[in-house]
Homo-oligomer: A and B are copies of this chain.
Amino acid sequence: MSDLRVTVWGEYRHEHTNKAVADVYPKGMHEAIADGLREGGIASVRTAWLDQPEHGLTDAILAETDVLTWWGHQAHNDVDDKIVERVAQRVLEGMGLIVLHSGHHSKVFKKLMGTSGNLQWREADEREIFWTVASGHPITDGIDEHFELPAEEMYGEPFDIPQPDTLVFISWFQGGNVFRSGACWQRGRGKIFYFRPGHETYPTYYDTNVRRVILNAVKWAAPVAGEKINVRNAKVPLAPITKG
């Protein structure tokens, strides 16, 4: 695990246009997320963002990325379809993908899920309590049966996602809503984790539990090293294995 290579992708636009966001995340949200991973012992963490050439996600960079984290919000439509295709293809080939907060509406998440990613929401500085419902799952390592954030944006059900392979966390919100806030899927060889918290105006990505969950998720989503199966070009005529 020591040689796990993570790329933290951020939209990195709110930080330039909204002083409240810049105050909370002076180096950008992606740097706060990346710092959490570095602090957690991941040696190789790089960042990339929307306004870089190819959104910072060149073939070369993706080829060197074991797990990609994704935060986007207001500019999902500015993400080039070719890059979306490239990222999704890498996930099918085994790259892990951690989708954060408003990334539920990112092109790449919707493409890999096959659903709209729609949900309900409310901005009202609400208390959020996360309940662990998959005790024993690697993503819960070091996490208590519940933890909380003092104020966050509310995301509520119905959340239009395929039923998760594993549901890890459910959130409670002060205003009467619940949300499947931590959920795992596999697509091709790649592991995907969606993790709800992280509205841009709150210091969520400095929170100890949130950082620990993202760290755990990155480790869980690491590609299997010895994997020998090719899902990219599999549709080829096959010789009989046996005379049957």
Residue ranges of A at the interface with B (Cβ–Cβ < 8 Å): 88, 92, 94, 105, 111-116, 118-124, 126-127, 129, 131-138, 140-146, 148, 154, 156-160, 162-163, 165-167, 170-178, 180, 185-191, 223-244
Q: Would you call A238 and B121 a contact (CB within 8 A)? A: yes
9 A-B pairs within 8 Å (CB atoms) are namely: A116-B234, A118-B232, A121-B236, A129-B176, A131-B156, A135-B189, A140-B224, A156-B238, A158-B231
Chain B residue numbers with a CB within 8 Å of A174 are 240, 242, 244
| A-B contacts besides A156-B238, A163-B167, 11 pairs, CB < 8 Å | A112-B114, A121-B237, A131-B156, A135-B231, A141-B225, A143-B226, A146-B157, A162-B186, A175-B242, A175-B244, A177-B238
Say which residue of B114, B137, B175, B180 sits within 8 Å of A240 (CB atoms): B175
Q: A114-B113, A131-B156, A132-B158 are in contact. Are A172 and B163 (CB under 8 A)?
A: no
Chain B residue numbers with a CB within 8 Å of A126 are 244
User: A188 to chain B: closest CB distance in Å?
Assistant: 6
Q: Would you call A115 and B187 a contact (CB within 8 A)? A: yes
Q: A165 to B162: give the CA distance in the assembly, Å.
A: 9
User: A110 to chain B: closest CB distance in Å?
Assistant: 9
Closest residue of chain B to A236 (Cβ to Cβ) is B120
Q: A80 to B243: give the CA distance in the assembly, Å.
A: 42
Q: Would you call A190 and B227 a contact (CB within 8 A)? A: no
Say what secondary structure dominates the interface of chain A: loop
Chain B residue numbers with a CB within 8 Å of A188 are 115-116, 135-136, 160
Chain B residue numbers with a CB within 8 Å of A146 are 157, 241
